[in-house]
Structure 1
Amino acid sequence: MNISFLETFYWLGTLKSVKETAARMRISQPVVSMRMAALQRALGTELYKTNGRKIELTATGIRVLRKCEAIVPLATELQEEVRKGDGDLSIVRVGATEVVGLSWLPALINHQKHHHPDISLSIKTGMAHGLVEALRRDEIDIAFVIGPIEDPTLSSEYLCDYTIKWLAAPAMVEGAMPTSVVDLARFPIIQSRQSSYRYQKILEYFRWHNVSLIEGLTPNHWVDVGFETMHCAHFASEGVGVTAVPVATVAGQLRLGRLVELPIKQEIPAWEVIALYRRHDNADTIAKVVHSARAAVARFAETADPAHFRPRD
């Protein structure tokens, strides 16, 4: 029996959608239907019924899905064995957002090297949504991204929180320190690309406080630098505008006085970073990487201001 047919049924039974199964497997929808027809012929039974776009498993389909839940992880472990190099070295493909790269990612790499020498990390950085999609497409094995992420095919573990504060160059706010979101909206807002998590959260922040609905208080203008945290902080330190970033990642600039925190009463919710990985992947190997991540978070917390960075148990 073709293992790929069982894996396709596993995702179909889990996602309850031919379209989502096709996207997850990186195959076309007709191929999903073809595989399911072949699997049902081989088993001599009907595994599911369709009601419009809705998939409903039969009693037999539910039993087969339970078996697939055991078979698919074994197939994944076999793929993991194939990826191993000489000396039983496992290669784990890791995705990390910029905020992780600017804080505890180097410590994770060093901890992994010294405590789990049987694992080699292949690192990819990027924006959160791109890394989540890469994880779904099996292009990476684990992602450290801002959560929560709702996906029944993925598991997650919370690692840490980053406090987000509004910052500016001291000269920009001298004599006119903003204390509310209304005051803040009078300044140029330095922002990331529109597809980024950061952009969406800042936009939600202004909308939540109805700034865009008050005549004359729409943010002075958006300065879209097209980059992420460090670029936004750099532009702010040069007096281009104000920006909101994880404070722990720019502690050096704050100490040097190039940036100051703005006492805005309306706080931005903390960013919660999670370890995200596919269900049923090689549990032992993933657990080792998460262990190194928690150790790296703890080490970074030793020197970070607890008001700006908090590990999660």
Structure 2
Amino acid sequence: MNIRFLETFLWVARLKSFRLTAEKLFTTQASISHRIAGLEEELGVKLFVRESRGVVLTPDGQRVREYAERIVSQSHALRQAMGAARDGRGKVRVGVIDSVIYTWFTQLIARISEQFPDLEVEVTADSGRNLCNQLQKGYLDIAFQVDPIRLESVNNLELVRYPLQWIVASGSPLHRHYDNLASLAQHRIITFVAHSRPHQDIVSLLNLHGIDAPRISCVNSFAAMIRMIEEGFGVGVIPPALVTEQLTAGKLTLLQIPDLTDNCLSMISQVASWRTGPGLECCATIAQLAHQVVQDFCRKMGPDYAQPARH
């Protein structure tokens, strides 16, 4: 069975479009159609049906997808293992969320380079949800994100926990005394993506204090989030560890809210998740290197900013 045809099939299933798949794979729609037709002929089933919004999988296509995911994943693992065994080099595909990039990721890259000088490191920056999907589908080998992945083929190691706090632009109209949470909640609140743990914790806290329909802006880019807070667009709910430079420079300020006994709303975690299998032995070592780097980072930052996970 042609692995390239299976990979094409999986992209069409994800994108629900022959045209978008052709653009993704840098080929023509005719070539994509040819591959899918060849796969359908070989399997003796119809894989897709056309609808107004694109193409969708048939029931047979759904069953084929389950097998195709595993076959393509194993094919990638085999090629990587054989490449590493042949020339002592190889490649590791690393996924990382913004909050990792803004804290200790460069130190980890330096440690990886020392431990594996001939290892090629391919880095993908994306949201935690997307990284988890890519790891499960075999497009990443190790991911640093926020939640453990519950799969038999994936190992997890919680690395660090960050307190979330209220942060505003220094000298802005938002930088003032607040008598209570209700007065603070009159302003726009800026935090992580919708339905993330920080977002849910904020909504729960406000509801607990009888505050309905707050204005919350959920942002999936941490760089954009920082810029919005610095410009005084709203009150940020983020870990101070991610903006230490701005806090030290006096651009941002931590707020203290009198009616909250603990100004820390909750904690968010960073977790290393990696696939196991042939050619992926280095991933466990990279996770341990990340653990060492994070221990040093937490000692430097202090417990108010970063706390190492307990195992």
What TM-score comes out, normalization by structure 1 length?
0.67
Any idea what SS the aligned residue of 1:205 has?
helix
Aligned partners of 2:82 and 2:279 also within 8 Å: no
CA distance in 2, matches of 1:232, 1:34: 41
Q: How many residues align?
A: 250
Q: Which residue of 1 aligns with 2:293?
A: 296
Kindly state the Cα deviation for residue 183 of structure 1 after the two structures are TM-superposed.
Answer: 3.0
Kindly state the Cα deviation for residue 165 of structure 1 after the two structures are TM-superposed.
Answer: 1.0
Kindly state the Cα deviation for residue 103 of structure 1 after the two structures are TM-superposed.
Answer: 0.9
Kindly state the Cα deviation for residue 34 of structure 1 after the two structures are TM-superposed.
Answer: 7.3
CA distance in 1, matches of 2:58, 2:112: 38
Any idea what SS the aligned residue of 1:124 has?
strand
Any idea what SS the aligned residue of 2:268 has?
strand
Cα gap change, 1:144/1:281 in structure 2, threshold over 3 Å: closer, same or farther? farther
CA distance in 2, matches of 1:244, 1:146: 16
1:236 pairs with 2:237: no
CA distance in 1, matches of 2:216, 2:176: 23
Sequence identity of aligned pairs in percent? 20
Kindly state the Cα deviation for residue 28 of structure 1 after the two structures are TM-superposed.
Answer: 7.5
Q: Which residue of 2 aligns with 1:177?
A: 178
Q: Which residue of 2 aligns with 1:287?
A: 284
Residue type of the alignment partner of 1:297: V
Aligned partners of 1:91 and 1:119 also within 8 Å: yes
Structure 1 gaps, min length 5: 5-21, 37-72
The structure 2 residue matched to 1:30, chosen from 60, 65, 74, is: 60
For 1:35-57, what per-residue CA distance to the aligned partner results, in whole angstroms no more than 9, with x for missing partners?
Answer: 99xxxxxxxxxxxxxxxxxxxxx
Any idea what SS the aligned residue of 2:302 has?
coil
Cα gap change, 1:280/1:262 in structure 2, threshold over 3 Å: closer, same or farther? same
Q: Which residue of 1 aligns with 2:116?
A: 116
Cα gap change, 1:302/1:86 in structure 2, threshold over 3 Å: closer, same or farther? farther
Query: Which moved further from structure 2: 295-304 or 113-122?
Result: 295-304
Any idea what SS the aligned residue of 1:253 has?
helix
CA distance in 2, matches of 1:209, 1:241: 18
Kindly state the Cα deviation for residue 150 of structure 1 after the two structures are TM-superposed.
Answer: 3.5
CA distance in 1, matches of 2:148, 2:78: 30
CA RMSD of aligned residues (A): 3.6
Q: Which residue of 2 aligns with 1:62?
A: none
What TM-score comes out, normalization by structure 2 length?
0.68
Structure 2 gaps, min length 5: 4-46, 48-56, 67-72
Q: Which residue of 2 aligns with 1:132?
A: 132
Residue type of the alignment partner of 1:177: Y
